[in-house]
Amino acid sequence: MAYHFDPVGIVHSCFHEKFAIPRQPSLAPAARGILELLPPYDQPEATAGLEGVSHLWLLFVFHAASSGPQHLRVRPPRLGGNQRIGVFASRSTHRPNPIGQSVVRLDAVEQGKLLISGIDLLDGTPVLDIKPYLPYADSLPHAHNAMADTAPQLISVAWKPVAWQAAREHAQRLQQPVIELIEQCLAQDPKPAYQQPQPEREYGVRFWDLNVRWHYPHAGCIQIVSIELQSIATA
Ligand code: SAM
């Protein structure tokens, strides 16, 4: 039996590539986006009542996940990228049906738009459904997961003064918490766990319209070296 689902909305996100997106929501509260609702759900009737709701469940499509043969086991980055577990024991993007679920903060409701934050969603993510978070049912303080009981360990993030100054100026221009976004995302250490980077190797990612570049001066520490406007042609 096959089912067909049409998106109810599309996420416009600060994240323009998969690299350096936090692996779960809430890890970067400064990660913001707009969920644009598609007709007929862009009408106020569809969002009536959301004024009293702080968080939402989003069910979405991993539209940019590479497709390939279906595997029963996956290698989650959380376990270092070389230990395999069953696909149903993981939150991998490579799944039988490429459906993701994230709890995000609902910051504001506007006509046809939901302003959201704490997201782990790529720009352009199609959203299949939106549901209010129910604290009494969805928060389970005694639940456990032996493989991922706590949030990932953070590493320290430092700035070159010129990068810090540029980030401040772009934060002003964009009216977004750019410094917090960069610090919260890079503190998760986006590079694959098995890589031992040389201090001269630079990494880069696009947040909003900015090319953020950093290196690892020594193990367990990131230094942001530059923040530059990324032209659409090179994005
Ligand atoms: N919270 C969701 C879940 O548990 O279903 C997503 C978890 S998944 C491990 C999070 C990663 O998915 C992000 O770090 C990002 O690299 C990737 N991602 C986010 N949006 C995506 C999209 N639309 N298509 C493909 N990959 C995406």
CATH number at residue 161: 3.30.2310.20
Q: State the pLDDT at residue 77.
A: 78
Please tell me whether residues 17 and 117 are part of one structural domain. Answer: yes
Please tell me whether residues 216 and 168 are part of one structural domain. Answer: yes
pLDDT tens, residue order, the chain (235 aa): 899 999 999 999 999 999 999 999 999 999 999 999 999 999 999 999 999 999 999 999 999 998 877 889 988 877 777 889 999 999 999 999 999 999 999 999 999 999 999 999 999 999 999 999 999 999 999 999 998 888 889 999 999 999 999 999 999 999 999 999 999 999 999 998 888 888 999 999 999 999 999 999 998 899 999 999 997 665 5
CATH number at residue 108: 2.40.30.70
Boundaries of domain holding 25:
9-63+98-138
Residue 86 lies in a domain: no
* 47 CA from centroid of ligand 1 (Å): 25
For the stretch 179-184, contacts whose Cβ atoms lie closer than 8 Å and that sit 24 or more positions apart, written own/partner, are: 180/29, 180/30, 181/14, 181/28, 181/30, 181/31, 181/32, 181/207, 182/157, 182/207, 182/212, 182/224, 182/227, 183/157, 184/22, 184/27, 184/28, 184/29, 184/30, 184/31
* 102 CA from centroid of ligand 1 (Å): 9
Residue 205 lies in a domain: yes
Q: State the pLDDT at residue 149.
A: 85
Global pTM value: 0.95
Please tell me whether residues 55 and 105 are part of one structural domain. Answer: yes
Give the binding-site residues of ligand 1, using a 6 Å CB cut-off.
18, 21, 23-25, 62-65, 91, 93, 100-102, 120-122, 125
Residue 2 lies in a domain: no
Please tell me whether residues 130 and 225 are part of one structural domain. Answer: no
Q: Which atom of ligand 1 is nearest to the CA of 63?
A: 24
Please tell me whether residues 132 and 172 are part of one structural domain. Answer: no
Please tell me whether residues 160 and 188 are part of one structural domain. Answer: yes
Q: Ligand 1: which residue has its CA nearest to atom 5?
A: 100
Q: State the pLDDT at residue 66.
A: 86
Q: Tell me the Ramachandran region of residue 189: left when phi exceeds 0, alpha when psi lies from -120 to 50, beta otherwise.
A: left
